[in-house]
Structure 1
Amino acid sequence: MPMFLKPSKMTVLWCFRLILHRKTSDVSLKDSLISPWNKKIIIKDKFMTANIDPEKIADLVRQCARDIILPYHGTLKEHQKSFKNGNPRNEVTVADAISEEFLSRQIKLLFPDSYILGEEESENNPSVFEYLNDPQKMIWVIDPIDGTSNFIKGSKTFCVIVALVADGKTRMGWIYDVCNDSMAFAQKDKGAFIDGQKVRLSKENPAHDVVTGYAGYKFKDNLKNISTSTLRCSGLEYFRMAKREADFSIYWKMKPWDHLAGTLLMQEAGGYAAQWDGSSYDPADATGGLITAANKKIWQKIRDSIPPQVLKKHNLIT
C-alpha cells in the first residue's frame, strides 16, 4: 500500500486561502501571496476592488441625477440655497444635501464595511478627512454637485463626481456630465473611458500653437503666455481635457472630491498629474498645488510658466 504524508493544518489552511483568493481576485499568485511559513498572506488588492461592477455605481449616479438633482435645476427657491460659512464663493443647495445623502446611503448598502467622505458631510464633520490617511479603509469620496454656483444659475456646467480610494490609492473614478448624459470612468491600471469608449491622450505637444487650459481666478492672469479660462467646475474641466478640448488644468485648492476622479481619468488616459513641486498626488494630499496635463511636456511648460512670486507666496521657492 502506498504511503502518503499527511498535510499539516497550516498547509491545508494555506491551500484553502489560495483557492478562495484565485476565485475572487485577478491578482497573480506571484504578486499576491507569500508562503505560509512567512506567517501571512499579502494581497495587493485586499479590498477586491477589481471585482466591483462600475456600472452599478454609474447607475446610482444616473438615478440620483435624474430623480433628485435635475428637478431642482433652474427651479431653486431662495430658501433652498445658502453660503457655507457665509462665504459667497462657496454655495450649497438642498439638492447637494439630498443627493449626497442618497448616494451615501445606497453605496453603504452595497458596501457596508466601506466609509463615506462627502463634500457636504465634511462641513459638519471634518474628522472624515482622516479616513484618507488610513490605508486600511475603503473610502467613497462624493461630490454630489460639482459646479454648484453654475447649477444655481441654471447653467448646464455641473456634474456628479464619485471616487473610490483603497490601500491609500484612487482605484476608480466616475464623472457624470448630467445635462449631456455622458459618463467618464477610470479604473487604475485598466484605462479611461467616456461612454464606454476607451480614450487615450497624445504624448506629443498639441497641434495648435497656443496651449490652452483651465486656471482658477487666482492664476488666470499669472501664467505667462498661456491661454486660460475656468468652468468653475473641476469635474467637467477634467472631462473636457480627457476629450482633448483643453491641454491642462492648474489648482491650488486640493479638495479630494474635486480631483481624485479627474486625475485618475487623466492618468489612465495617458496624461500626467503631479503637485507643483513635481511630487506625486495622493488622496490624502491637502496642500501643494496640482497641475494635470495631457502629457509631461505640457505639465512642465505650465509649471515653468508660474511666476516666481506666485511660487514664493505658496512656499515652493525661497
Structure 2
Amino acid sequence: MNSISPNLNIMIKACEKASKVIIRDFGEIENLQVSKKGPRDFVTKTDKKVEKILIEELSKSKKNYSFITEESGKIKNSNEDSCWIIDPIDGTINFMHGIPHFAISIALRINDELKCGLVFDPIKNEMFYAEKKSGAYFNNHRVRVSSKTNLEECLFTSNSDGVKHATPQLNMRNTGCAALDLAYVGAGRLDGFFHNNINIWDIAAGVLIIDEAGGKVSDISKFGDEAINIRASNGNIYQKMLEITKNF
C-alpha cells in the first residue's frame, strides 16, 4: 500500500460509506424496472442521499472547505480556495436501467490546482485514485496510461455525438460514465477520451488520474466549471486524436 495523504484517506472513507447506499438501492432497481412509475424518482433520491453522506463525511475534518456538487451546485464555506468537487453517481442512466457501470467521483481542488482525485465503482469494487506528484493507483497498485501508438489498436470513448463524429476513424465506445472512462484511460484499459460540454464534477478526479498516470489532458482551466471541452489520452496518440477531433 502506498502512503496516502489525510485528505485522500477522508475521500476513501466517505466513498466507502456512501457506496453502501448505492449498492443497496441498486439492488432495488430490478423491482422498479417493471413498475409503471419507473425508477427515475428513486434514482434522484439515491443521488441526493449519496451526496448528503459525502458532504457530511468530507466536512467532518475539513469544516471550512467549500463544495461544487452535481445535485446542490456550489456550497460556499469560509475557505473558498479549497473545494471538494463531487459527483455522487456519475452514470445515473446506467444505474436507472440496472446496468452496473457507474461511479462516485470526488476531487479536491486547492487554489485552482487539483490535488487529489478518486473514482470509485462500488459494484465492481474498483477504486482509482491519484494525488498531485504521487502517481495514479488502481486498488493500491500503481497504474500508467497505455503505450500504444497505432490508432487501429486503440479504443476511445466519448458521448454519442463524439462516437458519431469519430467513427470509423477511431474504435469508439459510449459507456455512459465519463468518470470511469477517464479512470480507465489512466489505468490503460482505454487509450483516449474526448467530450464537449461536460461539467467539472464528471471529470475533475479523472483528469488528475490521467495526469499522474503519465497521460496527456487538454487544458481545462480556460472553461470554468461547466461546458468544458476535454481531450485526454496517452501521449503517443494525443496529437493524432486532436487531429481527428479538431472539428468536433
Rounded to whole Å, the distance in 1 between the matches of 2:17 and 2:59 is 16
Q: TM-score, normalised by structure 2?
A: 0.86
TM-superposition CA deviations, 1:186-210 (whole Å, max 9, x none): 001111111111112255525x733
- What is residue 81 of structure 1 aligned with on the other side? 40
**4+ long deviations beyond 6 Å:** none
Q: Are residue 109 (structure 1) and residue 63 (structure 2) matched?
A: no
Structure 1 runs not aligned, ≥5 long:
1-49, 83-90, 123-127, 275-279, 311-318
- What is residue 294 of structure 1 aligned with on the other side? 234
**Alpha carbons of 1:193 and 1:231: their partners in 2 closer, same or farther (altered >3 Å)?**
same
Report SS of the residue matched to 1:165. strand
- What is residue 213 of structure 1 aligned with on the other side? 156
Q: Percent identity?
A: 21
Rounded to whole Å, the distance in 2 between the matches of 1:215 and 1:152 is 20
Match of 1:305 among 235, 244, 248: 244
In structure 2, give the amino acid aligned to 1:73. Answer: F
Structure 2 runs not aligned, ≥5 long:
none
Match of 1:178 among 112, 122, 126: 122
Q: TM-score, normalised by structure 1?
A: 0.68
Considering Cα pairs closer than 8 Å and 6+ residues apart, tell me whether 1 or 2 has the greater RCO: 2
Rounded to whole Å, the distance in 2 between the matches of 1:307 and 1:185 is 30
Cα pair 1:74 1:153 within 8 Å, conserved: no
**Alpha carbons of 1:204 and 1:155: their partners in 2 closer, same or farther (altered >3 Å)?**
closer
Rounded to whole Å, the distance in 2 between the matches of 1:80 and 1:306 is 36
| Aligned ranges 1:95-106 → 2 under 5 Å | 95-106=46-57
Cα pair 2:92 2:102 within 8 Å, conserved: yes
| Aligned ranges 1:211-290 → 2 under 5 Å | 211-223=154-166, 225-274=169-218, 280-282=219-221, 284-287=224-227, 289-290=229-230
Match of 1:65 among 19, 41, 51: 19
In structure 1, give the amino acid aligned to 2:40. Answer: K
Cα pair 2:155 2:171 within 8 Å, conserved: yes
Give the RMSD, CA atoms, in angstroms. Answer: 2.4
- What is residue 101 of structure 2 aligned with on the other side? 157
Rounded to whole Å, the distance in 1 between the matches of 2:139 and 2:109 is 22
How many residues align structurally? 236
- What is residue 32 of structure 1 aligned with on the other side? none
- Aligned-residue offset at 1:71: 1.1
Rounded to whole Å, the distance in 2 between the matches of 1:259 and 1:52 is 22
